[in-house]
Amino acid sequence: MSEASGAVHSVQAVQQELGADVASMQAPGQELAGQRIELSLRPRDGAELASCLRALSEHEQPVVVTGGCTRMGLGNRLGDVAGVLSTERLSGIVEFDEQDGVLQAMAGTRVSEVAAAVVARGWELPVDPPGGTTTIGGAIATAATGPRRHHYGPLRRSILGLDVVLASGERTRCGGRVVKNVTGYDLAKLYAGSLGTLGVIESAWLRLRPAPEETRTLVAVFASDASGRAFALGLEAARRDSVRAAALVSGAPAAELGAPTGHAAGCVLVVECAGDPGSVARDADWLVAETGARAVPEEARLLGRLRELQGSGRLRARLAVLPSKLSRTLTPLADAGFGVIVYPGAGFVYAVAEDVENAEALATVDAVASDVCADLLIEAIPDEARGARDVFGDPGAAAPLLRSLKERFDPHRILNPGRGQGFR
Amino acid sequence: MSTPDPSPHAAEGSLPGSGGDALAARLRAIVGSDGLLVRDDELFVYECDGLTLEACRPTAVVLPETTAQVAAVVRACRAAGVPFVPRGAGTGLSGGAHPVPGSVVIECSRMKKILAVDAENRTAVVQPGVVNADLSDAIQHLGLFYAPDPSSQLACTIGGNVAENSGGPHTLKYGATTDHVLAVEVVMPDGEILRLGSPTGAASGLDLVGAFVGSEGTLGIATEVTVRLTALPEAIETLLVIFPDVVTACRAVGEVIGTGLVPAAMEILDQRTIAAVEDSVYAAGLPRDAGAVLICELDGAAVSLDPQVERIREIARANQASDVRVAEDETQRAQFWKARKGAFGAMGRLAPDLYVHDAVVPRAKLPEVIAQVCEIADRHRLRLSNVFHAGDGNLHPNISFDRRDEDELGRVIQAGGEILAACVAAGGVITGEHGVGVEKRDYLPLVFSEADLDAMRRLRAAFDPDLVCNPGKAFPTTRFCAESNPKARGYDQVPFE
């Protein structure tokens, strides 16, 4: 990077090269993800996206890449950037093959828009991220996941192919539109969850699932001394055929989900059964018999609220834990002031807090993660608590490989500098 | 060559043929005499894998038993400047385990221990040489199985499955190998040992396991694999549906998918395959006068299956099916599957050679593409039989031929290229489960641009900057063995960069 005056010149050069339709200078003082933003790039199609990246590479101007801006805090602290590259105008469903149950959408298309379009045709988009404005590209870049993960699998499983523009401006494709494919390296796996640090997703082919014939949501409340039983039931529920979401919720989020007063210290089990009427009835009846669970009407949007809770908190940690160790996580995290959401089927524990003593709370998270050998991901962390911490954890022996990947895909470090694991 | 060239001028670090003795001694020190093959008669079987149209004899084959030995062998090869080729059971059909001139083959078949089974968490840790079916057999009493089930599962290894991202009939519902690998211990191309992923299946950061699985042995050697185990379904229904012809059967499959049913497997056998099976030891009582049969398997909660069977019946009837047989017991179910899994073996009776193709098309395009495939074979006067994973749109057009007939061999190659082109034109790809290997490297430009391939080369270079790990696979290149003088041609000049 050149001197400050040179950098300003380069930002303007990028803007002039791309023209006002795509690039605009920002008013002084604009900030995004804690960084000052001078330039805003809003390409309308893949060719413009490629032009943007080519210009940014030539002038060595780094950018933060955004979709729906729902989870800007993910990843390590963003380094200095000159501008923002938004994918929001790369929008729309390109092709929807109803017979085959596959769909191609531009990166900036909202997940909610795609979900609504396919459900009307008997299909379901197996992506249920937190954040109402989440885009397809953003969900993929962040490997977004929600309460139905144990049923849908990780998002990468539903990605058939990606069009990705590399930092150099080259437009590339990996995978395809078919449901089984080993043609070429599986780069889509590498891009999914890479937080836009290796390339910018232009569009995606996704595999849909048949929409369930019937859906039922049930809630059971457990007293604090019954959390062991709640875990056992949650895990058993998650392993039944029609159960596509099972969540055990404790602390403040439990109260928000309607745990009666007095039970706030206990936990709530939320279960969604979906599929053919026979198996839904069987599993729902089982749950009612075991727990006295009650059905919750669709309008209560219980899973939607669960998703929002999962994505909330100034301090938020995700622990991936083997099922046998899950039950050891709840009490210490709740005692430290966290709201806790456990997805037993996926083995995910979310600890969310708005207002805690950060250092102490982080120490608890680290201790619990270590105790249960969890894969720890700090999803949100106040800047004052961040320090030198790599939110993905120490990459250890993989560090040179991660650096090598970044260097080869983004040699000028123009894409979300600093964000990725071990990239700092 | 029977033994490495004992040239007195050989310096350590030069290519085999000049410094081969030194390398052989080092390899012997690592794996013992028992673990090193250098004699011509021993090396002969390693000239190729399941793709037999090309062959190239390696310099040596090592049979390590531990991760440390694999790492030491890789380091010895690096020090000697020799490329190495990982190999499992050698059942691959795309030449992914083909040696290149002067190379050392690292065969993992002696690393065949199931190291741990964790039934509660549904995971297992295995060495790469564990045979696919052996793992499922070992855990069946726990109510679990390992879902990826390639047709070669009685022989192929988990390590090879990881390299190829192998599929199988049940991929339709359960996914391919990549969906069942949680973590991998890898000997990197520089000899370092790295652990990728986590038993939770949700390691933080980049998904390096996802990038590694299916990389055809070009990014390193898997020496330990942590896999996800799946609960055996509560109930299974297996249907045999009789159709007048293969195009009609394909149409019915498309309709099943479009209706929103997700069977565990949907496999089609065409008339010629049926005849071959019924003439063989795999005979299962399939109707010889049928144009095609569909094996459709449904599994899951018992309460869900009856309505699904009924819907399949309706769709079958609407598509001219003459009969729908539901397996009455496990014996009959096994019989249906014996016909399917034995189909390739049965075809061995038709001609001296069999070319097993592998391509995928959008499922809705199956009827028109299968018709095109038949037309191509007819036009080239070739004996084609089809047995394939219809539910995934994954075609296996199989051509029976005699390689001694040069004219016929030429037509086989020509027709193969036309079949792949037809699949790509329909929105498909050139391989669904066999891999690119050496077989299809020169067809990659049908699917990918130079920029697409260049992105893949970036991944390759991050793992293996010197291109020594299984060179000559998965990227377009010139033919290796056509100019196979290792003395004249260093592996580092292999033109895929």
Chain B residue with CA closest to A123: the answer is B260
Partner-chain residue, chosen from A190, A239, A242, that has the shortest CB–CB distance to B211? A190
Mean pLDDT of B357-377: 96
pLDDT at residue B491 greater than cutoff 70: no
Query: Which two three-digit tokens encode residue A367?
Result: 């201790």
- Cα–Cα dist B199/A373, whole Å: 10
On whether both A219 and A270 belong to a single domain, the answer is yes
- Cα–Cα dist B370/A63, whole Å: 48
Q: Residue A230 belongs to what domain range?
A: 214-386
Give the distance from residue B32's alpha carbon to the nearest chain A alpha carbon, in angstroms. Answer: 30
Q: Which fold has domain B114-231?
A: 3.30.465
User: CB within 8 A of B25, min separation 6: which ones?
Assistant: none
For A385-404, the pLDDT digits (tens) are: 888 899 999 999 999 999 99
Chain B residue with CA closest to A281: the answer is B303
On whether both A165 and A233 belong to a single domain, the answer is no
pLDDT at position B242 is 97
Angle at A247 (CA atoms; ends A243, A249), nearest 5 degrees: 160
How high does pLDDT run on average in chain B?
91
Interface with chain B: mutation pick from A182, A190, A373, A391, highest number of B CBs within 10 Å: A182
Q: B452 contacts in A (CB within 8 Å)? A: 172-174, 184
Q: B161 contacts in A (CB within 8 Å)? A: none
User: CB within 8 A of B166, min separation 6: which ones?
Assistant: B132, B148, B150, B156, B160, B176, B177, B433
Cβ of A182 and B389 within 8 Å? no
- Cα–Cα dist B397/B417, whole Å: 12
Radius of gyration of chain A (CA): 22
Partner-chain residue, chosen from B123, B199, B456, that has the shortest CB–CB distance to A187? B456
Angle at A130 (CA atoms; ends A129, A131), nearest 5 degrees: 115
Q: Name residue A370's amino acid.
A: S
Q: B171 contacts in A (CB within 8 Å)? A: 180
User: CB within 8 A of B65, min separation 6: which ones?
Assistant: B31, B35, B110, B111
Cβ of B301 and A401 within 8 Å? no
pLDDT at position B2 is 39
- Cα–Cα dist A234/A323, whole Å: 10
Pairwise pLDDT comparison (A297 vs A192), residue with the higher score: A192
Cβ of B456 and A100 within 8 Å? no
pLDDT at residue A24 greater than cutoff 70: yes
CB atoms near residue B450 (< 10 Å): 11
CATH of the domain at A53: 3.30.465.10
pLDDT at position B19 is 61
Radius of gyration of chain B (CA): 23
Question: For chain B, what are the domain ranges?
Answer: 114-231, 235-425
On whether both A206 and A220 belong to a single domain, the answer is no
Q: B122 contacts in A (CB within 8 Å)? A: 323
Angle at B24 (CA atoms; ends B21, B25), nearest 5 degrees: 85
Q: A99 contacts in B (CB within 8 Å)? A: 254, 257-258, 363-364
- Cα–Cα dist A273/A214, whole Å: 8
Cβ(A158)–Cβ(A118) below 8 Å: no
Chain A residue with CA closest to B395: the answer is A180
Q: A321 contacts in B (CB within 8 Å)? A: 200
- Cα–Cα dist B419/B244, whole Å: 23
The structure tokens 């959401």 sit at A341
pLDDT at residue B9 greater than cutoff 50: no
Cβ of A153 and B179 within 8 Å? yes
For A194-230, the pLDDT digits (tens) are: 999 999 999 999 999 999 999 999 999 988 778 889 9
Chain B residue with CA closest to A403: the answer is B462
For B48-102, the pLDDT digits (tens) are: 999 998 899 999 999 999 999 999 999 999 999 999 999 999 999 999 999 999 9
pLDDT at position A383 is 87
Give the distance from residue A173's alpha carbon to the nearest chain B alpha carbon, in angstroms. Answer: 6
Report the Cα B366 to chain-centroid distance in Å.
22
Q: A243 contacts in B (CB within 8 Å)? A: none
pLDDT at position A1 is 41
Cβ of B459 and A98 within 8 Å? no
pLDDT at residue A251 greater than cutoff 90: no
Mean pLDDT of A407-415: 97
B39: helix, coil or strand? Answer: coil
3-state secondary structure chain A: CCCHHHHHHHHHHHHHHHCCCCEEECCCCCEECCEECCEEECCCCHHHHHHHHHHHHHCCCCEEEECCCCCCCCCCCCCCCCEEEECCCCCCEEEEECCCCEEEEECCCEHHHHHHHHHCCCEECCCCCCCCCCEHHHHHHCCCCCCCHHHHCCHHHHEEEEEEECCCCCEEEEECCCCCCCCCCCHHHHHCCCCCCCCEEEEEEEECEECCCEEEEEEEEECHHHHHHHHHHHHHHHCCCCEEEEEEEECHHHHHCCCCCCCCCCEEEEEEEEECHHHHHHHHHHHHHHHCCEEECHHHCHHHHHHHHHCCCCEEEEEECCHHHHHHCHHHHHHCCCEEEEECCCCEEEEEECCCCHHHHHHHHHHHHHHCCCEEEEEECCHHHHCCCCCCCCCHHHHHHHHHHHHHHCCCCCECCCCCCCCC
Give the distance from residue B156's alpha carbon to the nearest chain A alpha carbon, in angstroms. Answer: 17
CB atoms near residue A420 (< 10 Å): 27
pLDDT at position A263 is 46
pLDDT at position B494 is 33
Tell me the β-bridge partners of A245.
A272
Cβ(A130)–Cβ(A326) below 8 Å: no
Cβ of B451 and A375 within 8 Å? no
Give the distance from residue A174's alpha carbon to the nearest chain B alpha carbon, in angstroms. Answer: 7
Containing H/E element for B118? strand B114-118
pLDDT at position A261 is 55
- Cα–Cα dist A386/A380, whole Å: 9
On whether both A189 and A293 belong to a single domain, the answer is no
Cβ of B258 and A99 within 8 Å? yes
Cβ(B136)–Cβ(B155) below 8 Å: no
Cβ of B206 and A421 within 8 Å? yes
Angle at B71 (CA atoms; ends B67, B75), nearest 5 degrees: 170
Give the distance from residue B281's alpha carbon to the nearest chain A alpha carbon, in angstroms. Answer: 31
Q: How many domains does chain A have?
A: 2
Asked, colleague to colleague, whether B114-231 and B235-425 share their fold, the answer is no
A63-67, A159-163, A260-264, B39-43, range with the lowest pLDDT: A260-264
Cβ(A11)–Cβ(A38) below 8 Å: yes
Interface with chain B: mutation pick from A102, A166, A178, highest number of B CBs within 10 Å: A178
Confidence band for A384, pLDDT divided at 50, 70 and 90: confident
DSSP letter at B276 equals H
User: CB within 8 A of B109, min separation 6: which ones?
Assistant: B63, B88, B89, B129, B157
Q: A401 contacts in B (CB within 8 Å)? A: 188, 194, 208, 462-463
Cβ(A295)–Cβ(A218) below 8 Å: yes
On whether both A166 and A314 belong to a single domain, the answer is no
Angle at A130 (CA atoms; ends A335, A234), nearest 5 degrees: 55
pLDDT at position A126 is 96
Cβ of B164 and A190 within 8 Å? no
On whether both A204 and A84 belong to a single domain, the answer is yes
- Cα–Cα dist B324/A99, whole Å: 23
- Cα–Cα dist A88/A68, whole Å: 7
Give the distance from residue B317's alpha carbon to the nearest chain A alpha carbon, in angstroms. Answer: 19
Query: Which two three-digit tokens encode residue B354?
Result: 């069999």
Tell me the β-bridge partners of A410.
none
- Cα–Cα dist B463/B220, whole Å: 7
User: CB within 8 A of A10, min separation 6: which ones?
Assistant: A2, A59, A60, A61, A82
Length of chain A: 424
pLDDT at residue A378 greater than cutoff 80: yes
A45-49, B2-6, B178-182, range with the lowest pLDDT: B2-6
Pairwise pLDDT comparison (B427 vs A29), residue with the higher score: B427
Mean pLDDT of A19-43: 91
Cβ of B194 and A241 within 8 Å? no
On whether both A305 and A401 belong to a single domain, the answer is no
Cβ of A275 and B195 within 8 Å? no
Cβ of A182 and B214 within 8 Å? yes
Confidence band for A260, pLDDT divided at 50, 70 and 90: low
Q: B118 contacts in A (CB within 8 Å)? A: 322, 324
- Cα–Cα dist B104/B431, whole Å: 27
On whether both A127 and A261 belong to a single domain, the answer is no
Q: Name the CATH superfamily for B235-425.
A: FAD-linked oxidase, cap domain/gating helix (3.40.462.40)
pLDDT at residue B3 greater than cutoff 50: no
On whether both A79 and A128 belong to a single domain, the answer is yes
Confidence band for A424, pLDDT divided at 50, 70 and 90: low
Give the distance from residue B86's alpha carbon to the nearest chain A alpha carbon, in angstroms. Answer: 17
pLDDT at position A8 is 53
On whether both A205 and A218 belong to a single domain, the answer is no
Confidence band for B348, pLDDT divided at 50, 70 and 90: confident
Cβ of A182 and B120 within 8 Å? no
Q: Beta strands A39-41 and A83-86: pairing type?
A: parallel
Q: A422 contacts in B (CB within 8 Å)? A: 205
CATH of the domain at A338: 3.40.462.20
Concatenate the DSSP letters of all residues of B210-235 into one string.
HHHTTSTTSS-EEEEEEEE-EEPPSE
Give the distance from residue A301's alpha carbon to the nearest chain B alpha carbon, in angstroms. Answer: 25
Cβ of B463 and A154 within 8 Å? no
Cβ(B459)–Cβ(A190) below 8 Å: yes
Cβ of A401 and B300 within 8 Å? no
Interface with chain B: mutation pick from A94, A100, A145, A183, highest number of B CBs within 10 Å: A183
Confidence band for B165, pLDDT divided at 50, 70 and 90: very high
Interface with chain A: mutation pick from B117, B184, B204, highest number of A CBs within 10 Å: B204
pLDDT at position A198 is 98
On whether both A49 and A134 belong to a single domain, the answer is yes
Give the number of A-B residue pairs with CB atoms closer than 8 Å.
241
Q: What is the ipTM, given to two decimal places?
A: 0.96
Give the distance from residue A21's alpha carbon to the nearest chain B alpha carbon, in angstroms. Answer: 27
On whether both A202 and A334 belong to a single domain, the answer is no
